[in-house]
Amino acid sequence: MKRQKYAKILIFIFTSAILQGCTTRTIRIDPIPELKIGSPLAGLEPLNFVIKEFEDMRPNKKLIGACRVGPKIELEDQKVSEIVVDAIANEIKRNGHNVLPSAETDKADVIIDGIVRGYWIQSNNYTFSIKITGMIETEIKVTTRQSKNRALSKTYQGDYYYETSGIISSGIWQHVINEALLDMVKELTTDEEFLSRLKQVRR
């Protein structure tokens, strides 16, 4: 019985190493993910937002993931900063607000600017499973017409964990990083300080 147990362990490790060998896998985030749950944003008076282009401060702009026994993950032809901005814009528009072009800051009630610090997928192998972790970290500055000299600046993070005993497809990598991104968007758009600033806007 012990031999069978050890044999199964060795087969799992060996198979994982072969099937997910250290190559580079390219993925594309399309469509940009959207939350499907209710949001306190929906209860606010409709506002005009401008979301400026976020700065990507990650050391390697193309690489978004890696694992000990598995592929390195790169984006196909997209910018992480644009994906993050689009996800935030989707949530704002989904809840009845307007997102204006970045050139129309003079018409904005709220201006959102930010930095992407982290956008990463990591997998780790265990005895009979593989655990995949997605992590997003942003620094976001929110300015309203009423608080131009008192911008709200905070760090918002998102995390997601997925465990499997099978082959990790491109769809799984996309799912994990997308769910981590949505977790960050949720943390931002349900933050009491953020919502308090929006409630103070007088149009």
Q: Which CATH number do you get for residue 189?
A: 3.40.50.10610
pLDDT at position 166: 72
Question: How far apart, in whole angstroms, are the C-alpha atoms of residue 152 and residue 144?
Answer: 9
Q: What is the pTM of this model?
A: 0.85
* Beta bridge pairs of residue 137: 118, 157
Q: Tokens 């949720």 label which residue?
A: 186
Is-contact 184 161, C-beta < 8 A? Answer: no
Nearest to 27 by CA among 119, 136, 158: 119
Residue 70, domain extent: 2-32+41-199
Q: Which two tokens stand for residue 177?
A: 């990083």
Report residue 102 as tokens.
């970045």
Q: Please tell me the total count of domains within the chain.
A: 1
pLDDT value, residue 1: 54
Q: What is the pLDDT of residue 164?
A: 83
Q: What is the distance between the alpha carbons of residues 198 and 61, in angstroms, rounded to a whole number?
A: 32
pLDDT of residue 165: 76
Q: Return the pLDDT at 203.
A: 60
Radius of gyration over every alpha carbon of the chain, rounded to an integer in angstroms: 20
What is the C-alpha separation between 37 and 136, in angstroms, rounded? 20
Distance CA 91, CA 185 (A): 8
Determine the pLDDT at residue 150: 86
The list of the chain residues with pLDDT below 50 reads 2, 5-21
Backbone torsion region of residue 113, taken as left when φ is above 0, otherwise alpha when ψ lies between -120 and 50, otherwise beta: beta
Q: Which pLDDT value is given to residue 169?
A: 81
Contact status, residue 78 vs residue 29, Cβ threshold 8 Å = yes
- Taking residue 202's Cβ as centre, other Cβ atoms within 10 Å add up to 9
Please return the burial class of 32, using the count of CB atoms within 10 Å of its CB with bins 0-12, 13-18 and 19+.
Answer: middle
Residue 4 has what pLDDT? 53
Q: Other C-beta atoms within 10 Å of 164: how many?
A: 13
